[in-house]
Amino acid sequence: MPYIYLIIAISTEVIGSAFLKSSEGFSKFIPSFRIKLNKIRKLKGVKNALYLFNNSHKY
């Protein structure tokens, strides 16, 4: 299960990085909003993956 969260985090980081060029230095709203949204998703995915990796080795 932690690997699924890790894959989600990596894929959203790649998608967010793809929008960097289209945002033109964060001057366009929609691509900039997508970048920020994907960064939030990435952080949630990494948080969940690290939590599950840490707790899965206890038992």
**43 within 8 A of 28, measured Cβ to Cβ:** no
Task: Report pLDDT for 40.
Answer: 92
Task: Report pLDDT for 59.
Answer: 60
Other beta carbons within 10 Å of 16: 19
Query: Which residue segment(s) compose the domain that 46 sits in?
Result: 2-56
Quote the number of domains for the chain. 1
16 pLDDT more than 80? yes
Distance CA 9, CA 22 (A): 21
